[in-house]
Amino acid sequence: MNIGEILRQDGKRLQDVLGLDEREAGIEVRCLLQAVLNVSRAYLMTYPERILSGDESSRYSGYIERRLKGEPIAYILREREFFGHVFRVTPATLIPRPDTELLVELALQRIDEANVRRVLDMGTGSGAISISIALARPELEVVALDASEAALDVAIENARRLGAFNVRFLKSDWFSELNDERFELIVSNPPYVEAHDAHLKDLRFEPESALVSGMDGLDDIRRISAEALSHLNPGAWLMLEHGFDQAQSVRDLLRRSGLEEVSSVRDLSGMERVSMGRLTRADPFCNNT
C-alpha cells in the first residue's frame, strides 16, 4: 500500500478497535509512519502515492499491530514530548501526561518567588518533572529519586541527552535514603490510583507500582505528607499531583502533617489537580538548621 492508503485504512482500524476519534487516529498513524520513514508530516501529505519498501512495510506493520492491541504509542516510539522537551520512555516508567505540566509550572513560580536553592522530585520516573525544572532553572540543585533502578536508568539517560547536568539521581524508597537532606521545594507526582479502579485496564502497559497506591489511592501521599517535614527547610513548599477527586483528602493530609497555607490549583479542564502546603515555621521535633 502507499502512504495515502495506509492513512485511510489504518486510521479507520484504530477508530474501530480502540475507539479513537477520527482526528486522534489520523495523528497516530502519521506518527508511526513518520517514525518508520524518518520524514516530516508535510512529506506524508505531499507524497501520498509513495509505496513503502519491504523493510519499511514490515516495520510499520509491527508498530500498527502493537497499537491495535492497545500498547501506548509512546512506548512503541519510545518517546513522549513534555514541557517542550522530548523524553525517552519505556515500560519501566509512566508516560508523562500534559496534566503534569501544571506541577512544573507551579514549581517554577514558587522558585521565582522564594529563595529556592534545592528542589527534590520524588518518584521521578522518566525524569520529566525534575529535568524540566532543572533545564528551566540551571542555577538550582535538583535531586530526583525513584525506587525503581530501571526507571532511574531512563531518567539518567534523559538528563544526559537533554543536558540537565544539575540533577542528581538517587535510588530511594521515598525519603529512606535521603538521611538529613533538606530542600526549599519538594514536588511529586506519586501513585494515586485506587487499587480496584476500573480505568486500570486501560493502563495495563504502564508499571502498576507507579500507578496504584492502596484501596483509596492515597497510601503514598499519606507517607509523603507525614515524612516531608523532616526534609523541608522553614518556609519550604510541598507540592503533590493527585487525582481529580482527591483534592480535599490531600489538603486534609497536608494540614494534618503540620503544613500551612494549604491550597489546590485547577488544571485547564477545571479539575483540582495539584495541592500544596508550606512549612511556615521550624518543625519543633527536628533540627531545622
Residue-wise pLDDT tens digits, 57-84: 999 999 999 999 999 999 999 999 999 9
DSSP H or E run through 239: strand 232-241
pLDDT value for 282: 59
Q: How many CB atoms lie within 10 A of CB 38?
A: 8
Match domain 3-70 to its CATH number in 1.10.20, 1.10.3470, 2.40.30, 1.10.8: 1.10.8
How large is the greatest C-alpha to C-alpha distance in the chain, in angstroms?
72
Residue the block writes with cell 506519586: 190
**Cα dist. 198→83, 92, 194 in Å?**
29, 22, 9
* 288: pLDDT strictly greater than 70: no
Q: Encode 143-157: b = buried (16+ Cβ within 10 Å), e = exposed.
A: bbbbbbeebbebbbe
Nearest to 192 by CA among 121, 125, 124, 246: 246
- The count of other CB atoms within 10 Å of the CB of residue 198 is 7
189-231, pLDDT tens digit by residue?
999 999 988 888 889 999 999 999 999 999 999 999 999 999 9
Percent of the chain residues topping a pLDDT of 90: 93
**Mean pLDDT score across all residues of the chain:** 95
DSSP β-ladder status, 272-278 and 167-171 = unpaired
Residue 285 has pLDDT above 80, yes or no: no
pLDDT band with cut points at 50, 70 and 90 for residue 55: very high
How remote is the C-alpha of 216 from its chain's centroid? 21
Sheet holding 260-266, edge to edge: 167-171, 141-146, 118-122, 183-188, 232-241, 272-278, 260-266
For 118-167, the pLDDT digits (tens) are 999 999 999 999 999 999 999 999 999 999 999 999 999 999 999 999 99
pLDDT of residue 236: 97
Q: How do the domains of the chain map onto residue ranges?
A: 3-70, 92-278
- The DSSP code for 228 is G
The pLDDT > 70 percentage for the chain reads 97
> Please, which pLDDT band fits residue 50 given cuts at 50, 70 and 90?
very high
Per-residue model confidence (pLDDT) at position 284: 44
- Per-residue pLDDT tens digits for 7-28: 999 999 999 999 999 999 999 9
Q: How far out from the chain centre does Cα 58 lie?
A: 31
Distance, CA of 128 to CA of 8 (rounded, Å):
34
Residue 286 reports pLDDT greater than 60: no
Helices (H), the chain: 3-18, 22-37, 41-46, 54-68, 73-77, 101-113, 128-136, 149-162, 219-227, 247-257
Identity of residue 69: K
Name the fold adopted by 92-278. Rossmann fold (3.40.50)
If pLDDT is split at 50, 70 and 90, which confidence band does 40 have? very high
Closest by Cα among 1, 33, 35, 28 to 12: 28
Segment 42-58 shows an average pLDDT of 97
Q: What is the pLDDT of residue 247?
A: 98
